[in-house]
A and B are shown apart, each in its own frame.
Chain A
Amino acid sequence: MTAAVRPKVELLSPGLIDRILQEAWLILEREGVLFENAEARALFRDAGASVDEAGQRVRIGRRLVEACLSRTPESVTLYDRTGEESFRVGGDDVHFDPGSAGTRVVDHRTGRERPPVSEDLVTLARLADALPNFHFQSTGLVASDVPPVLGDSWRVYLALLYSAKPIVTGTFRVEGFGPMRDMLAAARGGPEELRRKPLAIFDACPSPPLKWSHLTSQSLIDSARAGIPSELISMGMTGASSPATIAGTLVQHVVENLAGLVLCQLAAPGAPVIFGGSPSSFDMRKGTTPMGAIETMMIDMAYAQIGKALHLPTHAYMALSDAKTPDAQAGYESGIGAVLAALAGINVVSGPGMLNYESAVSFEKLVIDDEICGMSYRLLEGITPREDPLAEHLFREFKPETQFLTLPHTRKWYRIEHRQSPLPDRDTYDAWVAAGAKDLPERASERVREILEGTPARRPEAGLADELRRIIVDDARRSGVASLPL
């Protein structure tokens, strides 16, 4: 029997990929990229790149980039907190995770945004843990009830306490890296074990155009040395911080990400790196960065295709929306984004649950998006010829009254071939009215409550919880934070 064809969409011709790369080589070598971080510049200088210390500019020849590319693993395998379940980030595998670092949460009682508190981070971790179509969790909210100096490590602490899934996260300050790494290593049983079985991905964003800040360069260096995969998040905004054309923005995207990749490899040869991004189109009236615009998704799909051509694992911010409530716009933008990301074979897709550009998380939307992600995975499985013959044998004794509902063939296959989806409304009109005429956000809200009341959090064992507590309390003390909310 033949296997299913995996559906796939590519936007760039090989010729266009080549032109983009040619221009990227030229810019890397001629104009170079700014690195604010002195240690990063020293690494480049030692590797023979031309470094202008005063201007903080690093010019990187194609040979060095290619040598670094050849050292970068084609795939990374993440393991959950238990170390048992593994996820390959590479090939055309797709893993969805909630979007990151929201500064607002949509309060389901009022439907309005408010600053998130630590309890919301716990809720997010628990939901991400329980919802089956998120392979990873993310530190998707920034708690307003802890002082900002502790913002980054506090998120990882709560993530490790309330979910066992691998974590997509990132630093907000250089000092944040140490405690974050220590907590991950503690969960794994040591730094070497963490290196062998990565538990988290650290996002780091260059500053468009053509610059890596002090903080994010340090994150790349530190992560590479600890064996923690870095996700390179170039984020041009067409016509604002990158060229207005899609192909032009792709050139800048490749330059920024490759400069970051070289730094990772210089810091630690063989370091795991993911070719990611969060670019966007730019709304020339509102001055906003629509993540749900089709052009945004086209840029994502295209740079991921280039990442694949360079034999790298890939990532994108897709399956999110600019709407302010989980409404129809939220549904279509997230739905289109998720399906396109899946069809593009993007390995890590961050975004579900997010509204209002990248700034707010709605738990209802998270539940809805989980359904969208489930549909996307199913689409990727494609159409499998389950039996041979396919159906001819079912028609051998065909009579007008033949009923498929009673055939053993139906019972054998319907569960395998079709997803069961309790969330979407598939009632008759009368049954829908009888059940309270609830719309999707209402049903999603009920599902949130069901999970929180019915699915216990996968907490770590007491010894680890104590160790994590010790690390975060220590970090708090060093950062001058006197008390913690949880």
Chain B
Amino acid sequence: MDLTRFQAMSQAVIDGDREAAAALAREALSRGFDAQAAVENGFIPGLQKVGSLWESGEYFLPELLAAAEAMKAAMAVLRPALEAGREAALSLGKVVLGTIEGDIHDIGKNLVGALLSANGFEVVDLGADVKIDRFISAAEETGASIIGLSALLTTTMLGQKRLVEELHSRGIRGKFKVLVGGAPVTQKWADDIGADGYGENALAAVRAAKALTGRE
């Protein structure tokens, strides 16, 4: 694959252009190019550029989320063509994410999800108003390493505690790292309930997730 094609891939992510990203990915596959190279030399450098545009204050959330979407679109095309071991190496880990039962606030959770996937995590978003049991079964089924719980109400915060307790009582506490967040949630609450990580905002959530997977 030539340099301009890699650049086009980067640019599609930088522009947050989902269609272009998917089209470039399809084109690469149909021409028999190496999927791995497309990801590593094409799309990921785009994501890195987006990160630095964010850091420098040029990019805001809409650009960041659009870039994450474009990346996702490309990966959806390329993933089947990646060798299994290689795919795992590209992912920082799987996160099952959702807002707790009884709570429909999902904007913060969506932001956390978008930034996690923009940073290389594979996010299984269960949506809002999700039962404790569902978090656990989804985590088991997908082989996730992190369960991320968002709660915006003082009532639903308790669900975070219940999930940790439930993991204990099922004897699988050690299998998953628990990451918590949401407006009423504090580091102290996270410590009190024995969660593994806490994010005050979406970027902090990414830092915490990286720390939990030992990728920082």
**Can you identify 18 A-B contacts, CB atoms within 8 angstroms?**
A103-B184, A144-B154, A148-B153, A148-B154, A148-B155, A148-B158, A151-B154, A151-B155, A207-B104, A237-B107, A239-B62, A241-B107, A284-B60, A285-B60, A286-B201, A287-B107, A287-B111, A287-B201
Contacts A285-B60, A286-B201, A287-B107 aside, 16 further interface pairs with beta carbons under 8 A come to A103-B154, A103-B184, A142-B154, A144-B154, A148-B154, A148-B155, A148-B157, A172-B153, A207-B104, A240-B107, A284-B60, A284-B61, A287-B61, A287-B201, A359-B183, A359-B184
- Residue of A144, A172, A284, A359 ringed by the most chain B CB atoms within 10 A: A284
> Within the assembled complex, what's the spacing in Å between the Cα atoms of A456 and B65?
54
B202 lies within 8 A of chain A by Cβ: yes
B45 lies within 8 A of chain A by Cβ: no
Q: Mark A185-217, 1 if CB is under 8 A from B, else 0.
A: 000000000000000000000010000010000
Q: From residue 26 to 70 of chain B, which have CB atoms closer than 8 A to chain A? A: 57, 60-62
Chain A's closest residue to B57 (CB) is A285
> Within the assembled complex, what's the spacing in Å between the Cα atoms of A148 and B60?
36
| Count of CB-CB pairs between chains A and B under 8 Å | 39
User: Chain B contacts of A149 at CB under 8 A?
Assistant: 155
Chain B's closest residue to A286 (CB) is B201
Residues of A within 8 A of B (CB): 103-104, 142, 144, 148-149, 151, 172-173, 207, 213, 237, 239-241, 284-287, 357, 359
> Within the assembled complex, what's the spacing in Å between the Cα atoms of A173 and B155?
10
User: Chain B contacts of A144 at CB under 8 A?
Assistant: 154
Q: Mark B186-213, 1 if CB is under 8 A from A, else 0.
A: 0000000000000001100000000000
* A284:B154 contact, CB within 8 angstroms: no
> Within the assembled complex, what's the spacing in Å between the Cα atoms of A345 and B147?
48
User: Chain A contacts of B62 at CB under 8 A?
Assistant: 239, 284
Residues of B within 8 A of A (CB): 57, 60-62, 104, 107-108, 111, 153-155, 157-158, 183-184, 201-202
Chain B's closest residue to A172 (CB) is B155
* B155:A103 contact, CB within 8 angstroms: no
> Within the assembled complex, what's the spacing in Å between the Cα atoms of A142 and B155?
10
* A285:B183 contact, CB within 8 angstroms: no
Rounded to whole Å, the gap between the CB of A37 and the closest CB of chain B is 13
* A103:B60 contact, CB within 8 angstroms: no
> Within the assembled complex, what's the spacing in Å between the Cα atoms of A359 and B154?
11
Chain A's closest residue to B114 (CB) is A287
Chain A's closest residue to B112 (CB) is A287
> Within the assembled complex, what's the spacing in Å between the Cα atoms of A286 and B202?
9
> Within the assembled complex, what's the spacing in Å between the Cα atoms of A286 and B60?
9
User: Chain B contacts of A357 at CB under 8 A?
Assistant: 183
Rounded to whole Å, the gap between the CB of A431 and the closest CB of chain B is 43
* A285:B61 contact, CB within 8 angstroms: yes
Chain A's closest residue to B156 (CB) is A148
Given A239-B62, A359-B183, is A287 in contact with B108 using a C-beta cutoff of 8 Å?
A: yes
> Within the assembled complex, what's the spacing in Å between the Cα atoms of A12 and B155?
40
> Within the assembled complex, what's the spacing in Å between the Cα atoms of A149 and B155?
7
User: Chain B contacts of A142 at CB under 8 A?
Assistant: 154
User: Chain A contacts of B60 at CB under 8 A?
Assistant: 284-285
